[in-house]
Structure 1
Amino acid sequence: MNVFWDRGYHDASLPDLLGGMELSRGSFYKAFGDKEAVFLRALDIYIEDAVRDMREILKADVSPVIAIRNALLRYADLSSGDEGRRGCFAVGTATEMLPANPEAARRIASLFRRLQDLFADAIVRGQKAGEFDEHLDAQAIAHFIVSQANGMRVLGKAGSSRKQMRANVDLVMKLLS
């Protein structure tokens, strides 16, 4: 995963992958078949980790407004400093591989849908608890939040600061009130 994350799919050579995985050429082909299969497996692992992490934050035993803020702060932290300049594996995949690779496109679309559903669920819980405006369209706001979060990941590659990212979080939270 790290080889693809750091170099991208097209610039990750077979020797890079073999070194990163500590496999011989024969073992690589026997276990995975080809470069694309390894890439898609790495993407699947990244996606499952990302969804699990966001689910844990958004379903934590805190109020929905705090859970959403914590989730957005997580994105802000991932989008600044060295980690921010590294970027997001999913966003990098989307910009490099979509729409040309249907399997990657399906996975990335699924990731963003799953994240949107997690945020929408937290918004609905917040509406029921009286923390958010009950007239807000939870899916539309969740789509906006996922868009904003991934936009922060892109801006982080260009060196946006943690202060700038946290200001974005404050703006999104104002939208919900």
Structure 2
Amino acid sequence: IYLRALDAYIEDAVRSVGETLHSNPSPKAAIRDAFSQQVDQASGPEGLRGCFVVFAAVEMLPEDKEVAPRISRLFRRLQDLYAAAIIRAQAVGEIDPGLDERTLARFLVCQIQGMRVLAKAGADRAETRAMVELALKALG
């Protein structure tokens, strides 16, 4: 049951981020929208309980041989989505094309997960919003 629930959560997360990253004509604004969505989730009532993926990653990796590949695959898929949005933003001049899209994508996914952990630990909406703004400055 746990693995089915985790798989469903992962698919929903990937779908939601993918839709958000394609919902705005401005790729950079779409990245901001995706981060804002994460702030809303992390700072709302559901966020106080924490993120299923964060719990799975922190509590079960690397020992759990069934969970570890799922979490690794999720992070790769999220990085792929963000990297594609960064490439689109670079193509229209919104992000410096000299910046490596994979490195930026990994940085963004790391920031999202860290923000979720801090929200679980009590960071409020203003604090998480400030974290997002700082992370987005890395995009130029």
User: Would the TM-score normalized by the shorter structure come out above 0.5?
Assistant: yes
Q: Match for 1:83: what amino acid? A: E
Q: Percent identity?
A: 54
User: Which TM-score applies when normalising by structure 2?
Assistant: 0.96
> Corresponding residue for 2:114?
151
2:95 to 120, 124, 132: 132
| Matched-pair contact (CA < 8 Å) for 1:81–1:156 | no
The whole-number CA distance in structure 1 between the counterparts of 2:68 and 2:35 is 24
The whole-number CA distance in structure 2 between the counterparts of 1:61 and 1:91 is 27
| Matched-pair contact (CA < 8 Å) for 1:81–1:161 | no
After superposing on structure 2, the runs of 4+ consecutive aligned residues of structure 1 that deviate more than 6 Å are: none
User: Which TM-score applies when normalising by structure 1?
Assistant: 0.77
RMSD: 0.9
> Corresponding residue for 2:27?
64
Q: Deviations over 1:156-176 (max 9, x none)?
A: 111101111111111122111
> Corresponding residue for 1:54?
17
Aligned residues: 140
> Corresponding residue for 1:35?
none
Q: Deviations over 1:107-164 (max 9, x none)?
A: 0000010000000000000000000011010000000000000001100111101111
State yes or no: 1:98 paired with 2:98.
no
- How many Å apart are 1:68 and its aligned residue? 0.2
- 1 or 2 for the larger relative contact order (CA 8 Å, sep ≥6)? 2
Q: Which SS does the other structure have where 1:95 is aligned?
A: helix
The whole-number CA distance in structure 2 between the counterparts of 1:73 and 1:93 is 23
Q: Deviations over 1:15-70 (max 9, x none)?
A: xxxxxxxxxxxxxxxxxxxxxxx111111000000000000000114200110000
> Corresponding residue for 1:79?
42
The whole-number CA distance in structure 1 between the counterparts of 2:14 and 2:84 is 14
| Matched-pair contact (CA < 8 Å) for 1:132–1:176 | yes
Provide structure 2 residue ranges, at least 5 long, that are not aligned to the other structure: none
The whole-number CA distance in structure 2 between the counterparts of 1:138 and 1:88 is 26
1:109 to 65, 72, 96: 72
> Corresponding residue for 1:25?
none
> Corresponding residue for 1:45?
8
Provide structure 1 residue ranges, at least 5 long, that are not aligned to the other structure: 1-37
Q: Match for 1:116: what amino acid? A: Q
